[in-house]
Amino acid sequence: MRKFSSYGPIDTSLYYYAPRQTLVGQALANLVGEDPMRGGHYITVWAPRQRGKTWIMQQVLFRLQSDPQFAMFDVLKLGLEYLKTEQDADRIAQSVTEKVCKALDLPAVAVSRIEELDRLFERGVLRKPLILMLDEFDALTEEAISGITGIFRHIYSNRQDEGSRPTAEKTYLLHAVALIGVRAVLGVENPRGSPFNVQRSLHVPNLTFEEVQGLFEWYTRESGQLIGPAVVERLFYETRGQPGLTCWFGELLTETYNRDPTQPIGMAEFEHVYIAASHVLPNNNILNILSKARQEQYKGYVLEMFRTDERVVFKYDDPVLNYLYLNGVVDWEWESAAVPQVKFPCPFVQKRLFSHFAGELFRETGRLYDPFEDLSDTISDDRLDVRNLLRRYERYLQQNRSWLLKDAPRRADLRIYEAVYHFNLFTYLFRFLQRRAAEVYPEFPTGNGKVDIFIKYADQVYGLEVKSFTDEFEYRAALQQAATYGRQLGLTEITLAFFVERVDKASRQKYEMIYVDPATGVTVTPVFVETG
């Protein structure tokens, strides 16, 4: 019986997989070319990490090697990660040459400098037209990337000039190239731009819901163990079909935490797995995302994404956003906007980032309240008053602000990032309620700055939406949006917390009026939290 695996390219005879035949066919068609006798294309295969780029090109490799109609080609796939610590571009070119010659059983080719790499691909050196795939291409140095892609461009242009000759009779027999990587080949980091401007681009997307559903239906057919539809829906919601995370959760559900394979896997089992994945289990994918997001040159951008008053426009040629995107920290969407906007790639990643920064910034919270303080206006055995809890938080913030926010990250204008207050509020609520058998957890329904905090206490769910106050127009819209969201969650009441630097008594009285939405009947309680 197959298993789930999230550890690099998978063996399709051992593990569950989504065939992704459309992508495989598209890559194959590009490499072979519209007319195989005239030449193929030089392509880049790109996507954030853990999307399955290597596996897809591996399937292309197997198709090319096994189908007799492609016997006219030599086909070779080389991994270049072993060269990631090599700084000498000439030595890199020599190593690639040696690997190609050995794999194709060719006589040694003398390449002393990277500029001589084209010799390897000349007719008379190669015996057949070659389809070459270079995996982990951007593990190489920028100098090596620029030099090698420059050689490929030269070869491609030369082959185009010889368009009337069959592919096997051209000066160079490099029929097609696939550069499999993350970002550098696209020229984002190269001040001169990419010399590889002859390529076609193959982008590898996440799995669709149908593909994820197919994986678990396959498991059920083989194992006989049912997996509830709600589990698959929630898993897809949390991962958005990111292949590495999807298969990791599949492994945890069907193996690591599958205590009784004779019983169906339901939401209780999923919640147990989700908590383990969030708190106690290392995952290289997530650890890589966290390590990239907390680097100083990128941290500010990530924190800005938690803003609730303004969306960030996605631009692929922005080197910071490009880096974050292709390392899986951010994604983009434009279904509901005129231009692509930055969002987090999936709720699970966003929650892990939120939890990480909250813990990093507020390991110490100090005393939340006096040991003998009367808390009856805020919490009792069967009830929680969220508005009074926010009042307490505001007093706590004002009393401890000088040391609590002393080292908080700041924007260029020296203002503290809005996200810092979100992290602090969540940490305060979590620690205030942790000894009272309450659950506090954040949700991010839109994938951007919108933050909702849910509290489960005494068999009740309390919803708290967090925003930054900008003006009256946005305030009115926020009330209606909160009411609509409350109805979607099945809540009759929801609290709307507005962070604001300053608020006078008159404004507080005016804007903190309870609002009952006529369309939904949901009661919205707005509360201002002064941060200045």
Nearest residue to 266 (alpha-carbon basis) of 219, 233, 223, 218? 233
In order along its 532 residues, the chain shows pLDDT tens digits of 999 998 878 899 999 999 999 999 999 999 999 999 999 999 989 888 888 999 999 999 999 999 999 999 999 999 999 999 999 999 999 999 999 999 999 999 999 999 999 999 999 999 999 999 999 998 899 899 989 999 999 999 999 999 889 999 999 999 999 999 865 444 434 444 444 555 678 889 999 999 999 999 999 999 999 999 999 999 999 999 999 999 999 999 999 999 999 999 999 999 999 999 999 998 989 999 999 999 999 999 899 888 776 777 888 778 888 889 888 999 888 766 678 888 899 999 999 999 999 999 999 999 999 989 999 999 999 999 999 999 999 999 999 999 999 989 998 888 899 889 999 999 999 999 998 889 998 888 766 657 789 999 999 999 999 988 989 998 999 999 899 988 988 999 999 999 999 999 999 999 999 999 999 999 999 999 999 8
Please, what is the Cα angle at 256 between 54 and 282, to 5 degrees? 60
pTM of this prediction?
0.87
Say which DSSP state 376 is in: T
Please state the length of the chain: 532
Nearest residue to 6 (alpha-carbon basis) of 281, 330, 401, 297? 281
As a whole number of angstroms, the distance between CA 390 and CA 393 comes to 5
Would you list the domain boundaries of the chain?
21-203, 209-281, 288-530
N- to C-terminal Cα separation, the chain: 60
Please, what is the Cα angle at 415 between 414 and 417, to 5 degrees? 120
Which CATH class for the 21-203 domain? alpha beta
